[in-house]
Structure 1
Amino acid sequence: MTTTKALLIGRRRGLAVTMVLGFALVVALSLAVAVVAEQANLPTAAAVTDRIVPLLVFYAPAPLAAVGAYARCGGPACLAVGVVPAVVFVALVLVGTVFGVPGVGGGDASLGGVTMSFALVGVSGAFVGYCAGVTAVLLADLAGIENGGE
């Protein structure tokens, strides 16, 4: 498969699915731990919510998409990484609302507005990361550096 087709469509479907689902699992677990720690009034709640959750939600999609592009997982998988935090957030809010978990309801802000904000930030970061990964692949091809999958 040519480099362009591998970068756009992807040729490592298993790795792409693992990347997206693994990231979703990590985000879901970190958000669940933050909610449980907050409800239990644990001292680690501030550390989890103030450091790990924003790192995963806002900053992790870009480097993950760059690695996915370099591994030739394809554009759709790399951009899907950016949508993961928004989808996990909506799922958490819906589950929290249905089961009546205190502090996990819709709140004052519109659920759609917050979700779209998360999705826009995530997809923007994932797009920048994807472009960086594609650039790295093309530069490596020009330099004659062998990529493990090619």
Structure 2
Amino acid sequence: MPTTKALLFGRRRDRAVGLVVGFAGVVTLALVAAFAAESADVTTASALTDRLLPLLVFYAPGPLAAAGAYARCGGPACLAVGVVPAVVLGGFVLLGTVVGVPGVNGGSPAIGDVTVSFAAIGVSSAFVGYCAGVTAVLGADLVGFGSGDEDGDIDDGDEADEDIDDGD
């Protein structure tokens, strides 16, 4: 039961926050770099960001959610990874519209549809990745390779667990 609870709700909150915030930072940096490359008309940087941005937006949430599940970050953190690209894109467009950055068109009604589509794709990918990570954890625990000890407890580095005398 401790493994199931750790997989569903998470045991390592600092890793979960680092996973979501770190991915948001990488997506934000890539989006700003893509916008700057397009604005400066730098073809090499623009070609690189044209390949990097879709990779981050569409393909990265699945493997990151699988890694988060294997690290026992919890389901909410793993699914939040899928929403990150949509939130970053929406925030970028909103900020660009409010500040008045040329080339950022927030007045288009289709931007809401694009943001919702990014969120749906990202959450779907993150869900599949989370399921794959949970399967990997349970399979590894089944063959004895997981991070559980002989009692089935998860070794989370908390030495207070070792001091409990259960009468054995």
Structure 2 length as normaliser, TM-score?
Answer: 0.85
Query: Is the counterpart of residue 52 in structure 1 residue 21 in structure 2?
Result: no
Amino acid at match of 2:36: V
2:85 corresponds to 1:85: yes
SS at match of 2:42: coil
Q: How many Å separate the matches in 1 of 2:36 and 2:50?
A: 14
Structure 1 residues 107-140: Cα deviation after superposition (integer angstroms, max 9, x where no partner): 6452221111000000000000000000000000
- Long gaps (5+) in structure 2: 149-153, 156-168
Percent identical across equivalent pairs? 69
Assess if the C-alpha contact under 8 Å between 1:97 and 1:104 holds in 2: yes
Q: Which has the larger radius of gyration?
A: 2
Summarize the Cα distance change of 1:48–1:104 in structure 2 as closer, same or farther, 3 Å threshold. Answer: farther
SS of residue matched to 1:105: coil
Q: Which residue of 2 aligns with 1:147?
A: 147
1:102 equivalent in structure 2: 102
What code does the residue aligned with 2:81 have?
V
SS of the aligned residue for 1:33 comes to helix
SS at structure 2 position matched to 1:81: helix
Q: Partner of 2:31 in structure 1?
A: 31
After TM superposition, where is structure 1 displaced by more than 4 Å over at least 4 residues in a row?
Answer: none
Deviation at residue 43 of structure 1 after TM alignment: 1.6
- Structure 1 letter corresponding to 2:6: A
Counterpart residue number, 2:121 = 121
Relative to structure 1, the CA distance from residue 98 to residue 26 in structure 2 (aligned partners, 3 Å threshold; closer, same or farther) is same
- In structure 1, what residue type is equivalent to 2:51? R
Moved more, 136-145 or 104-113: 104-113
1:30–1:48 contact (8 Å) kept in structure 2 = no
Residue type of the alignment partner of 1:87: V
**1 CA distance for matches of 2:45 and 2:110?**
25
Range that drifts further, 106-115 or 11-20:
106-115
AA in 2 matched with 1:96: G
CA distance in 1, matches of 2:84, 2:64: 12
Return the alpha-carbon distance in structure 1 between the equivalents of residues 63 and 139 of structure 2. 17
Match of 2:49, SS state, is: helix
- The two structures, once aligned, show a CA RMSD in angstroms of 1.5
Per the alignment, residue 41 of structure 1 pairs with 41
Q: Distance in 1 between matches of 2:38 and 2:32?
A: 10
* Secondary structure class of the residue paired with 2:10: coil
Structure 1, gaps ≥5 residues long: none
- Measured against aligned partners, the alpha-carbon deviations of 1:66-105 in whole angstroms (never above 9, x if no partner) come to 0000000000000000000000001100111112112111
Secondary structure of the structure 2 residue equivalent to 1:88: helix
Amino acid of the structure 2 residue aligned with 1:35: F
Contact residue 68 and residue 78 of structure 1 kept, 8 A? yes
Q: Does 1:72 align with 2:78?
A: no
SS class of match (1:125): helix
